Amino acid sequence: MELNISNIQHFSVGDGEGIRTTVFFKGCALRCPWCHNPETIDFAPAALSYPKLGKTEVRGKKMTVEAVMAEILEDRDFYAESGGGVTLSGGEVLLQAEGAYALARAAKEAGIPVFVDTAGFAPQAALEALHPVTDCWLYDYKTADPEAFRRVVGGELDRVRDNLAFLLSKGANVRIRIPLIPGFNTAAEEIEAIKADLKALGVRAVDLLPFHRLGSGKYTAMGMEYAYREVEPQTKAELAAIRKQYEDVFAVTVD
């Protein structure tokens, strides 16, 4: 079985506990204008050109489950020592559910913990398939406004809500991750709406992801316009205020 993979990042420390290998899947149904991995959005290979360095990188190739597992297994000693494992990310992992299941099952059989990073916009059958072989879901929740979700992100919020409710009903280990996007979801009333949504679903803890522009160079390399190029990251005071607003309902981690 083949997977459509953008790249595999070894020694990752930002996609779950410990030292991890992050497998970035190609293809996403959403179009978040702040996306840090624009090369993963389309299913087709993406060329990133860096004239000053005199090189071009092509992201996107078909790999068998066995080939991906071979790379994952290279780092298994680090997983054991650090409490890490493999994280399936993207793009959107759930759009390649059959292959993702085969990969996750192989990792689990090798004793490697599996995390799945998802935006939740996919058929519920995909989550049903992956649930038995997933140790933790890193689940994005971007807004409580269906119209804003449809207009800015390009999907249906009801599906994201329903899929989250499904995972929680199954007792899955779910970590809610809220990207803090200036001008989109950080105003006080927007935060209150998100809190109400998540509280109604029984969520008790959230991870806040401060805005950054670390992916902006990829847009330039792909000849794309980055809509958030001039947007400043939150200040420490702004982050503290946002955190305080969430902390009256949830346990909060700021990543």
CA distances from 197 to 17, 123, 162, 193, 203 (A): 27, 21, 12, 6, 9
pLDDT, position 255: 87
Strand ranges of the sheet holding 20-25, from the earlier edge strand across to the other edge: 61-64, 2-12, 20-25, 85-89, 114-118, 136-140, 174-179, 205-209, 251-254
pLDDT for 60 beyond 90? yes
Report the pLDDT averaged over residues 6-34.
94
**3-state SS assignment for residue 96:** helix
pLDDT, position 66: 98
pLDDT for 161 beyond 90? yes
213 falls in which pLDDT band (50, 70, 90)? very high
pLDDT for 106 beyond 90? yes
**Predicted structure pTM score:** 0.96
pLDDT, position 244: 98
pLDDT, position 104: 98
Domains by residue range for the chain, with CATH: 2-254 (3.20.20.70)
**Residues 82, 13 contacting (CB under 8 angstroms):** no
pLDDT, position 13: 84
pLDDT, position 59: 96
User: Of 57, 61, 49, 50, nearest to 24 (Cα)?
Assistant: 61
CB contact set of 240 (below 8 Å; sequence gap of 6+) = none
pLDDT for 15 beyond 90? no
Higher pLDDT, 12 or 99: 99
Radius of gyration of the CA atoms of the chain, in A = 18
**3-state SS assignment for residue 176:** strand
The sign of the dihedral angle between the CA atoms of 20, 47, 210, 205 is negative
pLDDT in tens, 128-140: 999 999 999 999 9
**3-state SS assignment for residue 45:** coil
Report the pLDDT averaged over residues 11-20.
89
pLDDT for 52 beyond 90? no
Q: 165 forms bridges with which residues in the sheet?
A: none
pLDDT for 14 beyond 90? no
